[in-house]
Structure 1
Amino acid sequence: MSSATTTDLYEVTMAMSYLREGMTGPATFSLFVRDMPPDRGFLVAAGLESSLDFLSGFRVGPEDVDAFASALHRPPRDLAPLLGLEFNGQVRAVPEGRIVLAGEPLLEVTASLPQAQLVESYVLNQVNHQTTIASKAARCVLAAAGHPVVDFSLRRTHGPQAGFQAARLSAMVGFAGTSNVAAATAEGLPAVGTMAHSYIEAFGTEEAAFRAFARCHPGPVTLLVDTYDTEEGVRVAARVLRDLDRATGSAIRLDSGDLGALALRARAILDAAGLPDVRIVASGGLDEYAVDSLVRSAPIDIYAVGTRVGVSADAPYLDSAYKMVEFDGRPVMKLSSAKVTAPGQKQVFRCPGYADVIGLRDERPPDEGVPLLETVMRNGRRTVERPTLRRSGERFHADLAGLPSEALRIRTPVAPRAVTSERLTGLTGEVRRHIEDEALAAAAGSAKP
């Protein structure tokens, strides 16, 4: 089977019906986030690159047809119309690393209706997860106020792929390194790490463990000091580093307890030992809220974040949607309560101060407005080179510099709100009236004797 089977069953049943009815005209689907998660002043667009990889290789093969048939309890010949289906459509998207707001399309897919429908679940999965993680990581960088932040999330993420993405995306928004060796190697990131408590426990004493570790690893080392008594562990680490003349570039790591109070005492012990250059690394259940508190009062040099960031614990998902906005040249929309969508292919115009305007694709930009959606795929093939992680990071930092200060707050941020253009508002009203008129006409017709 191929990744084409990574979809929800109802995508298959709808695609089959479209093909049977000859409904293969072009359809445009818009992917957007309805509302910001709690305590988010902005989102960082991510997941586009893996989505484009999926789309460029999308093809329904014989084994995929067999899988669909098995899921539907039907003979493979009934699913034969899907065989050989490829994605040869267009994608317009906000490049990875750019900051986006609620309601703004992150991407729009235009393709034959069965194609555009079948790819929904995979694309939503990638954009939803990666935008969630990138946005959480970005807040950690803000909270650290210039102190390095590193990724320790692999062991707690929801699968190895999610761990890889967390390492990649955290680097995109400014993390200094990752413990994930695969991600560090593939993406050219600094690999970071120290030791576990089990390493200390395997030796007779902390001092024996620290000296053994230093013998094995020349150069700067980071020693975990809280396996037993933390303050005593700091004293032992100080003695070993001083004896071996390994203080320059080295660090101790605090992983439990009252990190703020322990960091103050550890700093005092290190300074008294003549080791002012030995840094303090803090880890253990940290996220942007904890970092924001610690950075104000504790002499911590580096923050290692893991579980809470790798799964975005306080906001683990986005209220994202992938909705059809046009079919065969006809603008369409959804009217159900609280989930109304706007019709037509769109563009987002970034205006100074994030006074963004969501308009129609062919609109002229408002004064000083810059279009965010770019054509990144045509005829099922990329139209632009894959950006480097550095380039995506530059986009992020450029956008971050323009955000209002209230959106940057870690606690009680206020997110800017995009508005719709007059043309989009007008089209929405026209389509709504047309749908309502059609419904009234149908109801009147069915009421006739």
Structure 2
Amino acid sequence: MQHTFATNLASALYTDMYQLSMAHAHYNYNRHNEQVAFDYFYRKQPYNGGFTIFSGLGEVLALLQEFKFSSDDIDWLHKTTNFNDEFLEFMREFRFKGTVYSMREGEVVFPQEPLVRVQGNLVEAQLVETALLNYLNYSSLIATKAARIKLVARGGILSEFGLRRAQGLGGMLATRAAITGGFTSTSNVLGAKVYGVPAVGTIAHAYIQSYDDELTAFRDFAKINPINCVLLVDTYDTLKSGLPNAITVAKEMEQQGHKLMGVRLDSGDLAYLAKQARQVLDAEGLTYVKIVVSNQLDEYIVKSLFDQGAPIDIFGIGTSLVTGKPDAALDGVYKLSMANGKPRLKLSENIKKTTLPGLKQVYRYHDAAGNFIADAVALEDETAPDTIHHPYEPDKNLPLTGCTAEPLLQPVMQNGELTVTPTPILEVAQYAAKRLSKLTDEYKRFENPHIYKVGVSKKLYDLRTELRSKHKKNTF
């Protein structure tokens, strides 16, 4: 059998080489069973925005259940590395048996707070790092982009059209993340099947060009596809050719008991063309025909189209969405926070890059209306603190006495087995929309959004200070 990237996604080789090199060292020094904890978090909001939508957890949990080395993997490692036979036999039996705490997928999240905690032995907790980062960073970036587009779409229907421009098989994760962020359909047929969402599509210029005339192309396509038929009207001349021919076909469809669903604009001045098309369609009694637009759309263009009064019903959005343009990556990291029962931190001259030690819980505070106020990162054995402290500026704090607090990190996997029922992606999307509605508008605007407050408990602040002082004493 020829091996492809797709057939190896569940392999524990889906990691970076240094993870295996460290595992080899841990095993040979008999440290592989030492218990540790790692936190996944990110440092900076994407798109200069005020929030991120946490996405990809379902895929990560599914991967962890299948994360193992095949016999072929072990044979390849034997041939290509200097790993000793004892270690390779140990890895042959490797399965992830750790424990995972996580925020719920679809949660609205913020920098510096742990979104996922992985606990287990040194080998298993380290080996899953790369795959976890790969899935969560990309998925959360795309879900956030989708949510930003949804915020300005004014109820318009959003469909993900990005598979052909996605980074390889990342197109599958992009489809899932786009649904999480508020899109309701996809052109990705496999994605639609796997994730249980509608598959949609219109018609390509090539189909129309393959005919000697546009009207015949429209008639043939509508005849064989009378349900949800959308005609692409910009192959030759949108207003002089495409739209008149689409109107002719629409009226012929009416005589046959069907209705043309829409006309699609894929080039030119979309705002102007949409207004003209709407005016002509309405004058012909085709008020039910929807206007669909595509072509390099993002949140700023969608907002601009509506600001210009463009009467658009459906948006097909691809490249900018699935590539996370312009950011390309979320800077999520995976850092050790506990080892052998002792809290650990990564020290830096820049206090903002000094990690938070120990096992932690994240609490979210609500006001009387249920809106989000602030988040607190506290040690796991603490209750929600009444006051949170700025993580880097000791003189700043925020009293939260009397506010309602909810813990966000919950166990989702215990000893390698799921402790929660996998959530269908449409339910994840509903949760994301509900949570985003509790974030007030000043955090969701595109220009200079308010910075949401994420603080730490006094106990956690003091622990980090103590460990920093201890480690600094041991440096030259």
2:152 is matched with 143
State how many pairs are aligned. Answer: 439
Identity between Structure 1 and Structure 2 (%): 38
Counterparts of 1:146-161 in structure 2, within 5 Å, are 146-160=155-169
Structure 1 unaligned spans of 5+: 444-449
1:213 to 213, 216, 221: 221
CA distance in 2, matches of 1:71, 1:313: 37
Change (3 A) 1:97 1:249: farther
On the 8 A contact 1:66/1:76 being kept in 2, the answer is: no
1:342 is matched with 356
Q: What's the offset of the Cα at 1:337?
A: 3.4
Give the partner amino acid of 1:380.
G
Give the partner amino acid of 2:365.
C
TM-score normalised according to structure 1 size: 0.93
1:387 is matched with 423
Counterparts of 1:258-337 in structure 2, within 5 Å, are 258-296=269-307, 297-337=309-349
1:65 is matched with 74
235-244 vs 79-88, which moves further: 79-88
3-state SS of paired residue (2:48): coil
CA distance in 2, matches of 1:249, 1:144: 23
Change (3 A) 1:81 1:243: closer
1:166 is matched with 174
2:120 is matched with 111
CA distance in 2, matches of 1:135, 1:336: 29
Aligned CA RMSD, in angstroms, stands at 1.8
CA distance in 1, matches of 2:447, 2:260: 33
3-state SS of paired residue (1:428): helix
Question: Are 2:440 and 1:404 aligned?
Answer: yes
Structure 2 unaligned spans of 5+: 1-7, 367-371, 386-402
1:97 is matched with 106
1:130 to 112, 135, 139: 139
Change (3 A) 1:228 1:131: same
Give the partner amino acid of 1:53.
A
Change (3 A) 1:380 1:74: closer
CA distance in 2, matches of 1:276, 1:391: 33
1:428 is matched with 464
On the 8 A contact 1:350/1:357 being kept in 2, the answer is: yes
Q: What's the offset of the Cα at 1:75?
A: 6.1
On the 8 A contact 2:143/2:178 being kept in 1, the answer is: yes
CA distance in 1, matches of 2:70, 2:191: 31
Change (3 A) 1:250 1:318: same
On the 8 A contact 2:27/2:87 being kept in 1, the answer is: no
2:30 is matched with 22
Change (3 A) 1:79 1:243: closer
CA distance in 2, matches of 1:178, 1:426: 49
283-292 vs 66-75, which moves further: 66-75
CA distance in 1, matches of 2:206, 2:323: 25
CA distance in 1, matches of 2:11, 2:98: 17
3-state SS of paired residue (1:347): strand
On the 8 A contact 1:65/1:76 being kept in 2, the answer is: no
1:363 is matched with 382
CA distance in 1, matches of 2:208, 2:447: 38
User: Deviation per CA, 1:159-195, whole angstroms, max 9, x where unpaired?
Assistant: 13x2222222222332221111112122221221110
1:447 is matched with none
Change (3 A) 1:209 1:249: closer
CA distance in 1, matches of 2:227, 2:83: 64
289-298 vs 360-369, which moves further: 360-369
Give the partner amino acid of 1:235.
P
CA distance in 1, matches of 2:39, 2:67: 19
3-state SS of paired residue (1:342): coil
CA distance in 2, matches of 1:139, 1:204: 42
Q: What's the offset of the Cα at 1:61?
A: 4.2
2:238 is matched with 230
TM-score normalised according to structure 2 size: 0.88
CA distance in 2, matches of 1:346, 1:51: 21
CA distance in 2, matches of 1:225, 1:341: 55
3-state SS of paired residue (1:58): coil
CA distance in 1, matches of 2:472, 2:48: 37
Give the partner amino acid of 1:114.
V
1:51 is matched with 60
